[in-house]
Amino acid sequence: MLVETKNLVKRYGDVLAVDNVNLQIAEGEIFGLLGPNGAGKTTIINMLIGLTKVDGGEIAIFGKKVNGNREDVSSHIGIVPQELAIYNDLTAAENLAFFGKLYGIKGKLLQERVTEALEFTGLSDKRKILPKKFSGGMKRRLNIACAIVHQPKLIIMDEPTVGIDPQSRNHILSSVQELHSQGSTIIYTSHYMEEVEELCTRVAIMDEGRIIAQGNKDELKELVSFEDRIVVEVSTVNFTLVDEIKRIGGVTDCFLAENILTIHMAKNSHIIGRVVDAITGAGTEVVTLSAEKPTLESVFLTLTGKKLRD
Amino acid sequence: MSRILTIAKYIILQHLRNLGITLGQMLIFPIVVILILGMALSPAFEERELDPTRVGYLNEDTGVMGGLVDDFLSRGEIAELLEVKAVPSREKGLELLKDGEISALIHIEADYSEQVLAGNKAEIKLTGHPGRQLGVAIVETIMESFTYGGNATYALAAMGSQLEYAPAFGSIEEHTVSASGLKPNAMGYYAVTMLVMMAMYGAIYAAYDMGQNYMEPVGLRVMSTPVRPWEQYAGTVLANLVTVYLQALIIIAFTYFAFDVYWGPNLPLILLIVFVHVTLAVGLGTMAVMLTRDIARASGLLNILVVALTFLAGGYFEVNLPGSFQWGQYLSPNFLAQTALFNTIYGGPRNETLVMLAAMAGIILVTFTVSMLAQRRVVQ
Amino acid sequence: MTVFSYTLKRLLRNKLNLFMILVLTPFFIGIIFSFGSFEKNSITVGLVDQDNTPLTEMLAQSLEETSPVFRLEEGEIRRALARSQADYILVIAPGFSQQLIAGEEPKLRSYSIQETNFASRVQIKVEGFLGAARSLAAAAEGDQTAFYQGLEEYQRGNFVLKSAAFQQQEKSIDASLAGMGMLAMLMMLLSSFTTINLIKDRVNRTFYRVMAAPVPLKNYMLQNILCFFLVLLIQIAVMFLGVHYVFGLYLGPSVLNLYLVMAVFALLCVAMGVALSALARTVQQAGTIASLVITPMSMLSGLYWPRSLMPEILQIIGKYLPPTWLIAAVEKVMLGKPLASASMELAILLGFTAVFFLLGTWRRADIAK
């Protein structure tokens, strides 16, 4: 395991910000940490890099305990903080050189790495410009560049896409995938479940300081998808139809509201064809039909009874 | 060590980027103020010869005593100090007084000799111009010495002596000290106080940079690198010291070459004192931001504090607190630095300079200790 | 008047502004009155008394009648002269009184600054006193008791000087002028603080948002200006009450007239603030410009000290600066002249106000920038 935490605990006064968190992140993963604002994601990240004191439990990164080896461990981690963490009075290249030097890179290698990081984030032509004059998206990209200038084995991204335009967001998401393909392990926190779903190989879902589920996407969806659901809009309302559908083997429930039929059925029962037959057989027509697959959103909803973006 | 230097270098680079503010607040402002104050207040600082004080004189007494006053006022050494203008009447005298033609009116009433001879209180009436306190004091001082002669003559008679009174001329051995090299002229005074004030404004740099370290995401990012916390702290302090100290050196050099300000015979000690003061300012700024945990609030506070401390220390003009409150000035670090600097430039007591330096070192220790303690609470 | 009331709320919620108005203004003015001085008004005597006898005590007392006297040690002489703590220092060596009573002619030592002749004033008096003491000693023929009896007789002497200050019809207004000068400086400072709000609004785009609402630009500016003006008027009122009741400062025969003059200046301050907010692009820039302009201007206009104290060239420069005219108007009003007599000064102030307002609106045309 590249990153492993055991019973991690953080208290702020009476509040348990992180409650016995156990994480296992393997090399080469894009690990998603999904949860609403205030779930404890940033606190965990700060503990991983040794910025926040650990109140209980252990963290090992690259097989070493962070406590006591912070310098060694942190030199192979790159962090993209949630808020912009760049110097507005230093040019893009100077920002990169500064952080590069703090990671111990010097001389010609430093120059190369700065150029690479600028190229990677598409800021090559802005190297001598002060970030003051950047757009929001460009600042975000520089924020990422500063984290990769020392080519870390582990990159931690804390909500890197908050509040930016779709174009920059796409740029960031594709660069995450590219970093991954170059062999970096990535921890990615977000409260946008679409991003996590699109990017991540494994996901931990957090709420109120606890990990409420952990696994790959399918495993997580298994948690909620003991049944599938289809929604059908019908042309005319026919109440006997409801009873008829309920009689189909595998259907667990069916109800009608106005002219929308919602049908719950056992997972992988492959009975949509029979349902449609039943509808047309009853003299009505299917206007629209949609099958709903479970999403991480619905996983969260099922596990916590809340929506992610409350 | 190299990380400390890296951090320092890039912070200094940021200081340079804000050149407008750097130049304006830290260099142009103090230099302009030194120039204006130095010019505007040069008369107030100049040691000058006093012209004789103009005084109105009305003697209505035709007796012996009135004549003695006439004699007294016409004596050579008195004539050097008082320009006596005889007035025909009290009304005329008061008019001159009101117009500011004279600083005081000496009035001997018609029954003066009579009163003296009868053994009664004999008053010389002096009316002073309320706006000319110095002139009035001078006339008072001189006329007092006239009454000494009279009273001495009386006392001698009471003792049954035949001796006569005479002022003890030549009974004082006079020593004079030249003001140049002893005390500053206006330009020299303000070069020192404004230098000290400027260095105090350095606290705002420190508040900003330290605040950035502990309260802004970019500082936390630096913390996430292999840099040790004390290296980050040391690098920031170093950068602030360099920036503010360089600015101080520029002011010293500029005032020396452009304004011809005298910086004394012991430049190394001057540079040391300024360095200690700059360190103190950096410590103060650090403490302010660590305690308020808010850069904007800390700099607002420091802006006001620096003005207040400069005022208290007599940075804008000499402040003379009444005797029992004179220690109050020592509350202002500016005053400590100014005292040490003036002592060094103008040959003041060396041991006092050392006490000032020790006190400043004490303050530095306090500010940095408080900052350290507060910092532990900031980073949890 | 929505903009007005909300801006007022924001300004008064700002603790720094409140601190400026309520604490700092009276504090500075208090310090200045109590302890600051630019002009010498006495000759201070330092006394090193190593003899400590009734005779030297009497000498000290007689000096104290006309000069402030403070005691010091021999080692502190140079320092006292250097710090201008004393103009004239007198050293009485041990055994001085005894020698004098014995009929010898002991000498005192004096120290003073070479370049001045202040000291000779005090010297005449000391010589007068010593002359009396010597003749009494001669009369007493070395008898200490007889000498001190003679000295007592001498002190009871009938020759006295009765000094009184000339009672002018008008009260002295020097302190009041200095007070108004300080107030004017603080008003300019406060106004630069408050107008920084305008820049903040522009930087954080709330200005943009307000402009998007159906509020005409003129209206927005006018309400802001009214609000800043009101804050300054409050500052003047607080300061008037503060210095009058705490420091007993004389506010002239017509407080209303004085207030009106200061109010005209308040309007000028607002205009300066508006101009500043238009010229500066960032809050920091505004702060720098403000301190670069306000302090030197206050000095050259005679807000800190009487202009007459300065060399002529600086007095001429001062004529081109608005606060100079404020002080001129204040002086007239303080002397009890009618407001109309200061109409030229007030007109000049209003002229400056108009120029600053024009400067302020000139660059505000493009809102989106």
Q: Are strands B53-59 and B104-108 parallel, antiparallel or unpaired?
A: parallel
Q: Are C183 and C265 in a shared domain?
A: yes
Q: Which of C41, C112, C314 sits opposite B39 (nearest CB)?
A: C314
- Going B62 to B64 to B65 to B69, the CA torsion angle's sign is positive
Please write the tens of the pLDDT for every residue from C62-82: 888 888 888 888 888 888 888
Is residue A100 very low, low, confident or very high in pLDDT (cuts 50, 70, 90)? very high
Amino acid at C320: Y
For C203, the domain range is 2-37+171-362
Q: Are C29 and C61 in a shared domain?
A: no
pLDDT score for B151: 84
C67 vs B contacts (CB less than 8 Å): 137, 141
Burial A122-146 (b: 16+ CB within 10 A, else e): ebeebbeebbeebeebbbbbbbbbb
- Provide φ and ψ at A20, rounded to 5°: 50, 60
Q: Where are the domains of chain A?
A: 3-220, 226-292
Rounded Cα distance, C139 and C135, in Å: 6
Is residue C161 in a domain?
no
Amino acid at C351: G
**CATH code, C84:** 3.40.1710.10
Domains and CATH numbers, chain B: 2-44+181-378 (no CATH), 53-158 (3.40.1710.10)
Q: Which of B6, B18, B221 sits opposite A79 (nearest CB)?
A: B221
pLDDT score for B199: 93
Q: Are C327 and C234 in a shared domain?
A: yes
Extended strands (E) in chain A: 3-12, 15-25, 30-34, 56-61, 64-65, 77-80, 154-158, 185-190, 202-207, 210-216, 227-234, 251-257, 260-266, 286-292
Rounded Cα distance, C44 and C340, in Å: 44
Q: Is the pLDDT of residue A97 over 90?
A: yes
Q: Which of C94, C123, C155 is the last residue of a domain?
A: C155
Is residue C165 in a domain?
no
Q: Is the pLDDT of residue C360 over 60?
A: yes
Q: Are C175 and C142 in a shared domain?
A: no
Q: Which of C16, C65, C120 sits opposite B300 (nearest CB)?
A: C16
**Residue from A102, A110, A155 to probe the interface with B (highest B Cβ count within 10 Å):** A102
The CA-based angle B170-B171-B173, given to 5 degrees, is: 85
Q: Which of C82, C139, C164 sits opposite B163 (nearest CB)?
A: C139
| Number of domains forming the structure of chain C | 2
pLDDT higher at C202 or B103: B103
* Average pLDDT of the residues in C84-99: 89
Residue closest to B149 by CA, chosen among A103, A300, C154:
C154
Please write the tens of the pLDDT for every residue from C137-179: 888 888 888 888 888 888 888 777 787 777 654 456 777 787 8
- A11 shares contact with chain B (CB less than 8 Å): no
Is residue C116 in a domain?
yes
- Helix (H/G/I), strand (E/B), else coil: A60: strand
User: Do residue B225 and residue A51 have CB atoms under 8 angstroms apart?
Assistant: no
Name the β-bridge partners of B58: B107
* Average pLDDT of the residues in C227-248: 83
C294 vs B contacts (CB less than 8 Å): none
User: Do residue B168 and residue C130 have CB atoms under 8 angstroms apart?
Assistant: yes
pLDDT score for C32: 61
Please write the tens of the pLDDT for every residue from A131-165: 988 888 889 889 999 999 999 999 999 888 887 78
pLDDT score for C169: 47
Of A79-88, A240-249, C345-354, minimum mean pLDDT range? A240-249
**Residue from C161, C190, C193 to probe the interface with B (highest B Cβ count within 10 Å):** C161
Chain B residues 315-344 within an 8 A CB cutoff of chain C: 316-323, 342
Q: Which of C155, C185, C203 is the last residue of a domain?
A: C155
Neighbours of C320 (CB within 10 A): 11
pLDDT score for B378: 54
CA A171 to chain centre: 16
Which helix (H) or strand (E) covers residue B56, if one does? strand B53-59
Q: Nearest-CA distance from B227 to chain A in Å?
A: 6
pLDDT higher at A125 or B146: A125
Q: Which of B167, B175, B178 sits opposite C128 (nearest CB)?
A: B167
Angle of helix A296-304 versus helix A217-224 axis, rounded to 10: 50
Is residue C163 in a domain?
no
Q: Nearest-CA distance from A206 to chain B in Å?
A: 22
**In this complex, which chains have at least 3 CB pairs below 8 Å with chain B?**
A, C
Please write the tens of the pLDDT for every residue from A230-289: 888 888 877 788 888 888 888 888 888 888 888 888 777 778 888 888 888 888 888 888
Find the residue in C nearest to B49 (Cα): C116
Is residue C176 in a domain?
yes
**Residue from C135, C190, C204 to probe the interface with B (highest B Cβ count within 10 Å):** C135
Residue closest to C83 by CA, chosen among B313, B38, A299, A284:
B313
Rounded Cα distance, B86 and B59, in Å: 8
DSSP readout, C56-92? HHHHHHHHHTTS-EEE--GGGHHHHHHTTS-SEEEEE
pLDDT score for C368: 42
CATH topology of domain A3-220: Rossmann fold (3.40.50)
Please write the tens of the pLDDT for every residue from A17-36: 888 889 999 999 999 998 88
Assign domain A226-292 to its CATH architecture: 2-Layer Sandwich (3.30)
Chains C and A touch (3+ CB pairs under 8 A): no
Written as tens digits, the pLDDT of chain B (380 aa) is: 789 999 999 999 998 887 776 777 788 888 988 998 888 888 777 777 778 889 999 988 888 788 888 888 888 888 888 888 888 988 898 888 887 788 889 998 888 888 877 778 888 888 888 777 778 888 888 888 888 888 888 788 777 777 777 777 888 888 888 877 788 888 999 999 999 999 998 998 899 899 988 888 898 889 888 888 889 999 999 999 999 999 999 999 999 999 999 998 999 999 999 999 999 999 999 999 999 888 878 887 888 788 889 888 888 877 766 666 778 888 899 999 999 999 999 888 888 899 999 999 999 999 999 988 887 765 55
Please write the tens of the pLDDT for every residue from C46-57: 999 999 998 899
Q: Are C122 and C251 in a shared domain?
A: no
pLDDT higher at A44 or B130: A44
Name the β-bridge partners of A9: A56
User: Do residue C115 and residue B32 have CB atoms under 8 angstroms apart?
Assistant: no
User: Do residue A85 and residue B216 have CB atoms under 8 angstroms apart?
Assistant: yes
Chain A residues 197-226 within an 8 A CB cutoff of chain B: none
Q: Are C134 and C186 in a shared domain?
A: no
Q: Are C205 and C346 in a shared domain?
A: yes
Chain B residues 216-275 within an 8 A CB cutoff of chain C: none
Is residue C318 in a domain?
yes
pLDDT score for C367: 46
Q: Which of C155, C188, C223 is the last residue of a domain?
A: C155
* Average pLDDT of the residues in C197-217: 68
Q: Are C252 and C314 in a shared domain?
A: yes
Q: Are C260 and C176 in a shared domain?
A: yes
Is residue C367 in a domain?
no
Instruction: Kindly state the DSSP code that residue B27 receives in the 8-state scheme.
Output: I
* Average pLDDT of the residues in C254-265: 92
Find the residue in C nearest to B129 (Cα): C166
Residue closest to B10 by CA, chosen among B225, B266, B316:
B225
Q: Are C109 and C177 in a shared domain?
A: no
Q: Nearest-CA distance from A285 to chain B in Å?
A: 59
User: Do residue C296 and residue B36 have CB atoms under 8 angstroms apart?
Assistant: yes
Q: Are C202 and C334 in a shared domain?
A: yes
Q: Which of B217, B225, B226 sits opposite A81 (nearest CB)?
A: B217
Q: Nearest-CA distance from B1 to chain C in Å?
A: 33
Q: Are C180 and C256 in a shared domain?
A: yes
Chain A residues 121-150 within an 8 A CB cutoff of chain B: 130, 146
Q: Which of B130, B159, B323 sits opposite C146 (nearest CB)?
A: B159
Residue closest to B51 by CA, chosen among B134, B124, B172, B126:
B134
The CA–CA distances, whole Å, from C281 to A135, A281, B204, C293 equal: 18, 74, 20, 16
